[in-house]
Structure 1
Amino acid sequence: MNMKQTNFIITSAAFVIVIAGMKVASTILIPFLLAAFITILTLPTLLFLNKKGFPKGISVFIIILLLIFLGGTLSTLLGTSISGFSSRIPFYTEQITNRINWLIELISGFGFKIPKSTMNEYFDPGTAIQIIGNTLSGLRSVLTNTFLIILTVLFLLMEVSEIPTKIKKAFPNSSDLFKSIKSFFEGFNRYLVIKTATSIFTGIFIFLWLYFIGIDFPILWGLLAFILNFVPNVGSILAAIPAVLLAIIQFGFLKALFVVIGFLIVNIGLGGLLEPRFLGRGLGLSPLVVFLSLVFWGWVLGPVGMLLSVPLTMILKIALENNSNTKWIAIIIGSDK
């Protein structure tokens, strides 16, 4: 076994150990990862305030106040809506069971016999509603770490201006590494700002659409659409499922179709037209890798891992690019555009 093969085996083993450690420590790791990406998102605001003559301490204080306000508002809205939804789960379970029985009888009228026991075997409405409730509760549990996240953002913002200098001192002969990191932060910041803007618009549109249709808890589904819009490829589908299901429970299949149309309008308009135009080639990852990273980081870190799958994979790509033994992997997972 030559040295190159040995290095590859050692690198692979180290990667497996790190991922296993991240999975075990995900509860502790998630707040710090969220804080890091919130810091990147707020960095342009910090630089803008500094250019306007505000001292760094005052600039950071203003940003932290904004984050406390936004975090508190988000936690309150989500907490209230999730509690209300959870209290109505038994009612929704009963209603969707009635809808399914009605559908079975309708199909039976055309000569197709579907035993109710068979339907219940493959689809348990109570379980489906409970899964939605548990997922929302898990989202609320992440928000309970708001104080820790904001405190971490505070320290990161105070230190962020010194990070480039520290990297240059730590790696004096690695100019390519510094360029890769700088390119990543510039690209990721652009990605995050545009994605946040489109996600806010998506959330507002879905809230208003569902409100005028009359769906219960439109604020909850608007916030869910905002959050899940950060999940590549499948986020919009996941956001639509509970709203469509609730429309079927409340009003039947016709209004559920209007809910589907609303999600299609906003996702085709933003996700299919505006986002590609402003994001351009994105962050240099192939579509297949984006999807696989979604699954992988979701397995490692849960729902938050799905939200952060793109930036986490980009960090991994930079690490692979700057190691001669693994550079070929970075080329494979990168986009050819």
Structure 2
Amino acid sequence: MSAGSTGSPDGRVPAADQAPAPETLPRGVVVLLGTGAAVVTAAGVRSFAEIVGPVFLALVLTIAVSPLRRSLIRRGVKRWLAGLIALVVVNAFLLGVAAMLAYSVAELAGLLPTYQDKFAELVADTRAWLADRGVGQDQLQAALQKFDIGKFVDTLQGWLSGLLGVVSLLAFTVAVLFFMGIDATDFSARLKQAAQVRPDVIAALTGFTRGTTRYLIVSTVFGLIVAVFDVAVLYVLDIPLPWLWGLLALITNYIPNVGFFIGVIPPALLALLDQGWATLLWVIVAYSVINFIIQSVIQPKVVGDTVGLSTTLTFLSLVIWAWLLGPLGAVLAIPLSLLVKALLLDAAPSTHWLAGLISGGPVPEDAPPAAPAELPPDEVPAEQVG
């Protein structure tokens, strides 16, 4: 600024000496427009859940196997061969899990009808116990109608009859995995090229990939540990189909907050039907101890800031994605939320402060202060002009 120019007494340049600021929408209007766009997007995702879910599952599996591919390339394996090996590994894992689930559910469907008499006996005993304590027969009848193992078996058989649809969905996922595996061999070079034009966006996507990989590794390791302990307990208690319940414990370990409750209910009910109330209590106690020590004490300390989401947001992510995509959305809730966070918050420097607000974990004492807000155009300090 020249010596003869005038300014305000506090050293700020008048608005008339500056270029006109671009017009922007009021913040309230921006919030309303963003909320409306989110609602429309959510409706679209739910409408195409049968496509969005398998595609994102294929993406997560491709990310999960990427460390293997990179390790093979560093060891001198050609890129196309490393990509092929990674593709074979991830498809073998997916098909193996699907085959184990299909076989185990079929075994369970054949086992449950043998407990019809035992269930009727339990119902009679429960009715007599409640009647002795003054509960009326009408109330008993209304309550017991909701617990009919015959209806449960019919529902399970309906699921089995829809196995053809699950197989077709699995075939679609495998097909998407194949094409993603092919593209992944050269994707790192494409990211480096794109980073020259949009470094913030590519950095956000890279962070999503890194965070998802760490989350999957930690959840898988601890899920396997929990599953092994659960299977051992079920073997000791002589509960039928222990490997099915171990596989269920592994899968539900990816479901935040409520996965434990989903994993303990089926073996506990089967323990009740097979051996009685005492065994049911033993199953619940054993699962609770294992879950508390491994998933509530050890796992969070190892995970640390891998997810980068607060506890409340993690639970809300589970609810929202389960509503949008069904059970698959519950399993993939954390990676889906990490992707949304990367695209909407991490990709733009102006929203990095908001990403810090929703992150989990304590704030370090030596954390740098937040960047000061930018001054309005008519209050730019004089030393920053000219």
Give the TM interval when normalised to the shorter protein.
0.7 to 0.9
Deviation per CA, 1:261-301: give whole Å up to 9, x if none. 22123212220222122111331111111111101100000
Q: Deviations over 1:242-267 (max 9, x none)?
A: 11011101110111112112212321
Code of the residue aligned with 1:73 in structure 2: it is G
Shift of 1:193: 0.6
**8 Å CA contact retained: 1:81, 1:220:** yes
Asked if residue 113 in structure 1 is aligned to residue 135 in structure 2, the reply is yes
What is the match of residue 101 of structure 1?
A: 124
Q: CA deviation at 1:58?
A: 1.4
Which position in structure 2 is the counterpart of 1:22?
A: 45
Pick the aligned partner of 1:333 from 349, 358, 365: 358
Distance 1:114 1:101, change over 3 A: farther
- Equivalent positions of 1:1-337 (< 5 A) are 2-109=25-132, 111-115=133-137, 116-121=140-145, 123-127=147-151, 142=166, 144-167=168-191, 169-170=193-194, 172-321=196-345, 322-323=347-348, 330-335=355-360, 337=362
Per-residue Cα deviation, 1:90-142 (whole angstroms, up to 9, x for no partner) = 44455334213212323444x43342314325544444566667678889954
| Structure 1: tracts of 5 or more residues without a match | none
Q: Which has the larger radius of gyration?
A: 2
With over 3 angstroms needed to count, the CA separation of the structure-2 counterparts of 1:192 and 1:26, relative to structure 1, is same
- How far is 1:318 from its partner? 1.9
Instruction: For residue 67 of structure 1, report the CA deviation from its aligned partner.
Output: 3.0
- Amino acid paired to 1:320: L
Q: Distance in 2 between matches of 1:242 and 1:226?
A: 14
Distance across 2 between alignment mates of 1:264 and 1:120: 27
**Deviation (angstroms), 1:5:** 3.9
Q: Which 5+ residue runs of structure 2 have no aligned equivalent?
A: 1-23, 363-386
Structure number with higher relative contact order (C-alpha < 8 Å, ≥ 6 residues apart): 2
Classify 1:135/1:201 alpha carbon distance in 2 versus 1 (closer, same or farther; 3 Å). farther
Quick one: structure 1 residues 227 and 121, their matched pair in 2 at CA, closer, same or farther if it must change by over 3 Å?
A: same
Q: Tell me what 2:366 maps to.
A: none
Alignment check: 8 A CA contact 1:77 1:219 kept: no
- The percent identity for this pair of structures is 26
**C-alpha contact (below 8 Å) 1:228/1:238 kept by paired residues:** yes
In structure 2, do the counterparts of structure 1 residues 243 and 130 end up closer, same or farther at CA, with 3 Å as the change threshold? farther
Maintained 8 Å contact 1:64/1:150: no
Which shifted more, 118-127 or 29-38?
A: 118-127
Q: Distance in 1 between matches of 2:160 and 2:337?
A: 26
Q: TM-score scaled by structure 1? A: 0.87
Counterpart secondary structure, 1:145: helix
Of 325-334 and 7-16, deviating more is: 325-334
Segment of structure 1 superposing worse, 190-199 or 312-321: 312-321
Per the normalisation by structure 2, the TM-score is: 0.77
Letter in 1 for 2:284: V
